[in-house]
Amino acid sequence: MQPEFRSLTPADLDAMVVVEQAAHAHPWSRNLLADAFGERYFTGALWHKNELLGYFIADRVLDESTLMNICVSPAWQGRGLGRRLLEHYFTQCRALGLSLLWLEVRASNRAALALYASAGYQESGRRRNYYPALNGAEDAVLMQMAL
């Protein structure tokens, strides 16, 4: 199987909602996902035939970008697709002339933390009790890297 990359469009919103809700205990809402098609945002997605396997949403301001969301369908996790999406994000950032990248991730998301660290991100801070969790709230780990 060789998935293909393409940007997301508003026509992909239904597929995004399905993947988002399947992959996250606290998914983004349909409205929040729809907002990702504004002028300052850019996206990338992996597709196999007509199935959305995963996607990312990022913003850009001046020469910086924040990776807002990266999501892989649970049926496709553990196959390196998150890394492929991250590498595609880096490729798009270089093409846009961006030089400083940011993200935040749940402190409990060990797999994502390991992926980001292996790609060159470094922890730059924390937002205490930022994300809703089953037992109250959990920290957001802030990470950055120079591209």
- The one catalytic residue in 20, 55, 89, 104 is 104
Supply the pLDDT for residue 25: 86
What topology is assigned to 4-146 in CATH? Aminopeptidase (3.40.630)
Supply the pLDDT for residue 121: 98
Beta-carbon count within 10 A of 9 CB: 10
Q: 8: which 2 tokens? A: 């997301």
Determine whether 123 is an active site residue.
no
Supply the pLDDT for residue 104: 97
Q: Which stretches of the chain score pLDDT less than 70?
A: none
Supply the pLDDT for residue 118: 97
Supply the pLDDT for residue 53: 97
Q: Are 96 and 42 in contact (CB under 8 A)?
A: yes
Determine whether 130 is an active site residue.
no
Helix (H, G, I), strand (E, B) or coil at 129: strand
Query: Domains of the chain: which residue ranges?
Result: 4-146
Q: Are 33 and 15 in contact (CB under 8 A)?
A: no
Dist. CA 84–CA 80, nearest whole Å = 6
Supply the pLDDT for residue 133: 85
- The one catalytic residue in 20, 55, 89, 116 is 116
Supply the pLDDT for residue 135: 84
Give the global pTM: 0.93
